[in-house]
Structure 1
């Protein structure tokens, strides 16, 4: 083969690789990540905060392990899932990546053992029975799991919200249960902007109240500094309110396919 034809062949091969589905998907994810990064950086600037004070967690639910691998190659270090039946095999497939796995969905006690095998953080701790189940599972797995108390601003006093989460007046007792449980570490609080109640449609107000709860909690537990709030549609409000972690899915990965 002549040098010219060899060069032409290599050029064609490079073009073909660049146009492969994997390369195209990686480029799409990189562009989406850049846009989300601009949003977070802009919100940090508006709030007078340092960009490094806010951690991006990419919510990869309904997307394949191949996307998680691409995100890791693009520098993402934190990913989240909300269903154990999807998360467990995905985490296993991505065991060679240097990722922190966050579980953010409602968690049944009978799934605690499985989740304790891969999750570094559970954001959705909302009842004492779950604390006990996670503690037993973490001890069995010889792991320490960071736990966040999920606050539901649409839950009635002493109850759990429809999407999970304990009412604000139940946070202190639940946090104490986490802090005293073996294998668990109290890392902070989490919320999802409420769909019902007086704060419905007012994410900034909900996030402001979450920060107040976090501040009170840190008086007794100084290491519980995580404030997990904000998603694709309201991450700016969360950053302005003081969130330390934002959970972004569709803005990075695109519109979610329907679950079967």
Structure 2
């Protein structure tokens, strides 16, 4: 076993233990929570190691990097999630590799993704990114639609050709009433998920929690956690 493979395996085991312990503390079965490993700025070689270790879902946040990496790993049994802010002119590229876009936050992006999904003759999973640091009708510092805009945007996704409404995503905000209150932020997201499932019952995915706060996300009810640093280590700086 190479040093890098051993390092990733040990880190992955530790994260799995954290998720299992968080599930046990919340009275939830371990299988209710899916780990998505965030591979941004890490090489394709690391993605291959993750696949060998049983990881099946990975995430990227920059299209240029993600497209090249996904192409080099096209032979692996992986689902790719796009989690970064997405420009509409990148929709065609993202459709080439992404199985899910977790950062849908405006009508123009819905239209662009739908157009490209139809062109590619495939279905794309979509999560509405919720900005808990935004006003009721604004957008967040790191993208996302305010809670008050979730229902309308969800209806657009659900009605769009080629798109599948899977649920909601959020990032714990650095400002506003939920700053430093990750558990409360994730509980607010769960409330929004409950409301959403009232009109879109299949939209059950709740993506929340990262390396520093996955326990709070699991406690609140998240179905997916996005972990990068705790699995792959501190990310190299992009040149």
On whether the aligned pair clears a TM of 0.5, the verdict is yes
The structure 1 residue matched to 2:162, chosen from 183, 186, 194, is 183
2-structure distance, mates of 1:235, 1:176: 29
1:44-80 CA-partner distances (Å, limit 9, x unpaired) = 0000000000000000000000100110000000000
2-structure distance, mates of 1:111, 1:167: 23
Question: Residue 172 of structure 1 aligns with which residue?
Answer: 151
Question: Residue 77 of structure 2 aligns with which residue?
Answer: 98
Which runs of 4 or more aligned residues in structure 1 lie more than 4 Å from their structure 2 counterparts after TM superposition? Answer: none
1-structure distance, mates of 2:147, 2:208: 15
**Which stretches in structure 1 are left out of the alignment for 5+ residues?**
1-17
2-structure distance, mates of 1:95, 1:192: 28
SS at match of 1:62: coil
> TM-score of the superposition, structure 2-length normalised?
0.99
Question: Residue 129 of structure 1 aligns with which residue?
Answer: 108
1:88-127 CA-partner distances (Å, limit 9, x unpaired) = 0100000000000000000000001100111000000000
> TM-score of the superposition, structure 1-length normalised?
0.91
The structure 2 residue matched to 1:67, chosen from 46, 53, 68, is 46
2-structure distance, mates of 1:109, 1:160: 16
Question: Residue 226 of structure 1 aligns with which residue?
Answer: 205
Larger Rg: 1
2-structure distance, mates of 1:46, 1:86: 37
Is 2:161 aligned against 1:197?
no
Question: How large is the Cα RMSD of the aligned pairs?
Answer: 0.6
Note the C-alpha offset of 1:42. Answer: 0.2
1-structure distance, mates of 2:178, 2:135: 13
2-structure distance, mates of 1:212, 1:159: 19
Question: Residue 3 of structure 1 aligns with which residue?
Answer: none
Matches within 5 A, 1:114-153: 114-153=93-132
Question: Residue 137 of structure 2 aligns with which residue?
Answer: 158
SS at match of 1:80: strand
SS at match of 1:150: strand
2-structure distance, mates of 1:118, 1:90: 10
Question: Residue 242 of structure 1 aligns with which residue?
Answer: 221
Mean Cα displacement is larger for which, 128-137 or 149-158? 149-158
Question: Residue 236 of structure 2 aligns with which residue?
Answer: 257
2-structure distance, mates of 1:157, 1:259: 35
The structure 2 residue matched to 1:77, chosen from 56, 79, 83, is 56
Question: Residue 208 of structure 1 aligns with which residue?
Answer: 187
1-structure distance, mates of 2:139, 2:73: 33
SS at match of 1:158: coil
Question: Residue 42 of structure 1 aligns with which residue?
Answer: 21
